[in-house]
Structure formats: structure tokens, C-alpha cells
Structure 1
């Protein structure tokens, strides 16, 4: 891992999509997370896989499909406002339909 990448389970935890790193790791191990890196989409199978700023993640959580673009890696698991700065929600693109709100 370098300064411009981070483990996907740590990023999901820092971005507050998972309450604990263990829950984030389980989400990845279940095959529920897809990564788009340089235009190539893959299903992540190990929580140790690295993500980079500019990568897109798509995952189902609490009955909703989330699609986000990683903007920053973060230094810590901070307050919600700090966590929201780590990603851009792609649902506004309408490229992925999450169903009725």
C-alpha cells in the first residue's frame, strides 16, 4: 500500500459506510463490493484490496445500492461531515438506479 492507496475495508470504515472494519471486511468478502479502476470493473473478494482516489465503488448496503467515486483516502474515521468529503455520490448521475427514494 502506498500514500495514494488504502485498503478497501479501511476506506469503507473511514467513509462511515460500515460501523466497524470487521463489518466492512465482511461486506467485501461476501462479494458485495464492485470496484471500477481505470475503466475496468471487478468484484472485490478480499478486504486487503487497495483503492485509489478516482476509483468508483458500487455496493449494496441496507437494501440500497450505493455508487460512489473516491475523492480522498482520509487520515482517520472522523465525524460524518469529514467522512462525506471522502466521496462523491454517483446516484445523481442516474447511471445506477437505486430504486424509489
Structure 2
């Protein structure tokens, strides 16, 4: 049985809503994408305790979370946020996508609606 104040890594990841299911949490832990205090987690059964720092590598982001408490159930998101403290660095400007559409040079690619209307007027297709 687990020691008091400790919890299996896969259960903790599931309770904090990092992944959707406990089996996905186990796969994440076994794949080596979770570190506990800078050491790679080798098994889903590795134990975490309050005070541990987890580095979790997901598809497009890296989470650095400090364990504050072990969970008893997978509750709503506000309850899950009480189990950890987010220490992740703020995203840099390079990671934030630009909201403006890229500019294209005139005459390259398909014509815009405005350009198509002008062409139709010139050709007398209106």
C-alpha cells in the first residue's frame, strides 16, 4: 500500500486533469515525458508527494507544476487546480501566434473577390 501523503503518478495526473483518462496518464508517465524533481518517471506507479516539482511535456507546451496535495477524486477543474501550483514560464512572443493574416504579393495566387469583380467588368461579364 502507498505511504501516507503519497499518490501514484498516473492517478495524480488524472485527478489534476492533465489527461482525459487514467490509462492515458499511465502512457504519459511510461513514455518518459514526466519528470519528478528532474528525474524521469519510469513507471506509472511512481509516487508523488506534496512539495515535488513535476515537469510534464505535452504536445505543444511544457508544464512545470508543484504538487500541493494528493487528490481523492477527479472533480471539477477548480477543485483540480487546488492540487498544484503552476510554475510554468510565461510563453515567449515567438510561441504566441500572430493574429494577422500573412500578406501576399499582388498577382500571386488566386484573385480576391474584388480583383475578380474588376476583371469581370473589364471583360463585360457583368
Same topology, TM > 0.5: yes
Contact 1:70 1:86 in 2 (8 A): yes
Structure 1 length-normalised TM: 0.86
Corresponding residue to 1:69 among 53, 60, 66: 66
2:51 aligned partner: 54
Count of residues in correspondence between the two structures = 93
How is 1:1-101 mapped onto 2 (pairs within 5 angstroms)? 1-36=2-37, 41-91=38-88, 94=89, 99=92, 100-101=95-96
Query: SS of the residue aligned with 1:63?
Result: coil
Root-mean-square deviation over aligned CA pairs:
1.4
Contact 1:58 1:67 in 2 (8 A): yes
Q: Please state which structure has a larger fraction of its residues in strand.
A: 1
Q: 1:59: Cα distance to partner?
A: 1.1
Greater RCO, CA 8 A, separation 6+: 1
Structure 1 Cα separation of the partners of residues 36 and 13 of structure 2: 12
Structure 2 length-normalised TM: 0.69
Contact 1:33 1:60 in 2 (8 A): yes
What runs of 5+ residues in structure 1 fail to find an aligned partner? none
